[in-house]
Amino acid sequence: MLKDITLGQYFPLDSVIHKIDPRFKIMFTLCYIVLIFFASSPAGYLAVGIFSFLVIKLSKVGFKVVLKSLKPLLFILCFTAVINLFFTGGDTILWQWKFLKITTDGIINAANMALRLVFLVVGSSILTYTTSPILLTDGIERLLSPFAKLGLPSHELAMMMTIALRFIPTLLEETEKIIMAQKARGADFESGNLIRRAKALIPVLVPLFISSFRRADELATAMECRCYRGGKGRTSLRQLRVTSLDWIALGVMLIFALVIIFINLGF
Amino acid sequence: MIEVKDLVYSYIAENSKPEEILKNINISIQKGEFVAVLGHNGSGKSTFAKHLNAILLPMGGKVYIDGIDTSRQEHLWDVRSRVGMVFQNPDNQIVASIVEEDVAFAPENLSVPPEEIRRRVDDALETVGMSEYKNHSPHMLSGGQKQRVAIAGIIAMKPDIIVMDEPTAMLDPIGRREVMKTIEDLNSIYGITIVLITHNMDEAVKAKRVVVIDSGKVIIDDTPRNVFKNVELLRQIGLDVPQATLLAYELRQKGFNIRDDVLTVDECTEEIYKLCR
Ligand SMILES: Nc1ncnc2c1ncn2[C@@H]1O[C@H](COP(=O)(O)OP(=O)(O)OP(=O)(O)O)[C@@H](O)[C@H]1O
Ligand SMILES: [Mg+2]
């Protein structure tokens, strides 16, 4: 169950999207996220939708996987939609009960928020699905490296990310094991209200924390054994090289940006 | 070459008086040797191992690696790159989320140029037989495969010596066999000095030399054959003997005329066969 979470996972496939330089891809993703907030009309969303569809298609990751990445966010998605639906002011009231009311503005707002969130998740998922974590962190490290002179610990941040990404599946597996072990001892995670369920999680989180600290300690030793001494003088197996593919992708991205901006301006 | 002279060590704890975990260890291991280190839980094996690549520094005595004193700060990285270390839990040694990127970790730290890293990574994965998994993510691999990736990560550093601290303890029998095969190959084919800490006597038998540590002292240092002859002594300090040796021992106790230095199942079978004739 926990293992099914595909958010933030990498799929080692061979596609053009995979081949784009991570620095470009990160910038594209940021650009895409900004554009989502520009596209506030049905036509805009349609354009974003078509663009996302094509990118997913090109990435070979598969739509099922991408949809699955939305699953853990279903709750937040519904929550924001409902909040927007009921608590947006507006003149054309369609339905009212005490302080709750639904207005056309509310519906539009809710749809807007929901769509934006969906695209936000889809966009960032595509980035992580098609970029190996190390390339991703490499990319972030390179993009941040100009700020290193200002004291930003860009290598340390990148290393932290690498390790976090590496340990997510391991810790999920462990969480599952602990849950099983507690269930075997009669723990009940499924019934009761939210507070009771949250309380039931404490016996899961405590052992998880303890084991994470032990892991961190062992990992630190193992890294020292492999001569890790910070980012200074480190080389890298993969050299990032900008290819013509990256420039083509940049072109496509620019066209997409222009389309969104034009739609937003109403031609 | 490893040279340990009068090594003394104790962990400093806040509110208890320090107890010597290692008391005067003397040992020297030549290039190309395959040494198994035995000892019951808490006897100080891991503490000893951590002195070999300067993760811990001696409180008394010296440790020399190829003549370099491990306590000299300026040679720290030289020592660490000469002596690789593999631990029990492969999950806690693998840093990156793609096999080949993890194997590249050590050479990257040592500022090896990218083309050379590529070569080392490919060679290391080939050596442990994991080439076809180079683009996999480690958490999808079996325990034995993960441990072999961890070993590849050390080989890529090109060490002369690899210290293994119970590398098979968390593995299933198949994983154990894979890892042991890899370790034996590293020693016999690639000439890497191996120091293997283990609780598994059938693995210890594969070594050319067995060192037994008991409460921080080396009490036996001999060939496996001579070590496992001392069934009673080993039992006294809480150690097992290989099953074949044990069977031969029990038979001797019952008055059968059987050799006392039987190590493997094959040898034991042969001896018993001789008895039956
Ligand atoms: N970081 C530490 N701080 C304090 N004491 C420690 C520390 N690590 C180990 N010890 C103590 O040192 C002693 C020797 O530990 P060590 O890990 O070297 O034993 P070992 O022979 O490797 O045992 P095992 O077979 O269980 O791995 C033990 O009594 C242990 O409690
Ligand atoms: Mg130990």
User: What is the distance between the alpha carbons of residues B99 and A230, in angstroms, rounded to a whole number?
Assistant: 21
Domain that holds residue A94: 2-131+240-265
Domain assignment present for A165 = no
CA distance A111 to chain B (A): 37
Six-digit token string for B116: 């050379």
For A9-13, A86-90, B66-70, which range has the lowest pLDDT when averaged over its residues?
A: A86-90
A224 → closest Cβ in B55, B100, B153: B55
Predicted local distance difference test score (pLDDT) of residue A3: 52
Q: How much is the pTM?
A: 0.82
Mean per-residue pLDDT, A99-127: 85
B97 → closest Cβ in A133, A234, A237: A133
User: What are the chain A neighbours of B157 within 8 Å (beta carbons)?
Assistant: 226-227
B105 touches chain A (CB under 8 A): yes
User: What digits encode the pLDDT tens for the residues B67-100?
Assistant: 999 999 999 999 999 999 999 999 999 999 889 9
**Ligand 1 centre and the CA of A36: distance in Å?**
56
For A67-76, B23-32, B154-163, which range has the lowest pLDDT when averaged over its residues?
A: A67-76
Domain total in chain A:
1
Among 3.40.462.10, 3.30.310.50, 3.40.640.10, 3.40.50.300, name the CATH number for the domain at B2-223: 3.40.50.300
Measure the CA angle with vertex B265, ends B259 and B267; round to 5°: 40
Domain assignment present for A230 = no
Ligand 1 atom showing the smallest separation from residue B45 Cα: 21
Six-digit token string for B163: 């210290």
Predicted local distance difference test score (pLDDT) of residue A1: 43
Domain assignment present for A209 = no
Q: DSSP readout, B61-84?
A: EEEEETTEETT-GGGHHHHHHHEE
CA neighbours closer than 13 Å in the CB half-sphere of residue B32:
4
Nearest to B50, CA basis, from B9, B12, B89: B9
User: What digits encode the pLDDT tens for the residues A168-190?
Assistant: 889 998 999 999 998 898 878 77
Domain assignment present for A199 = no
B87 touches chain A (CB under 8 A): yes
Spatial contact of B117 and B107, defined as CB atoms under 8 Å apart: yes
Mean per-residue pLDDT, B112-138: 95
B60: three-class secondary structure by DSSP: strand
For A37-41, A138-142, B14-18, B230-234, which range has the lowest pLDDT when averaged over its residues?
A: B14-18
pLDDT of A239 above 80: yes
Contacts of A213-221 spanning 24+ positions with Cβ under 8 A: A215/A167, A215/A170, A215/B91, A215/B92, A218/B87, A218/B89, A218/B92, A218/B93, A219/A163, A219/B92, A219/B93, A219/B95, A221/B50, A221/B55, A221/B87
B139 → closest Cβ in A170, A218, A222: A170
User: What are the chain B neighbours of A166 within 8 Å (beta carbons)?
Assistant: 94-97, 138
Domain assignment present for A172 = no
User: What digits encode the pLDDT tens for the residues A31-51?
Assistant: 999 999 888 788 889 999 999
**Residue B115: closest CA among chain A residues belongs to which residue?**
A237
In this predicted complex, what is the ipTM?
A: 0.91
User: What are the chain A neighbours of B154 within 8 Å (beta carbons)?
Assistant: 225-226
**Ligand 2 centre and the CA of A222: distance in Å?**
14
Residue with CA at minimum distance from ligand 1 atom 11: B42
pLDDT of B150 above 90: yes
Q: Do B95 and A236 touch (CB under 8 A)?
A: no
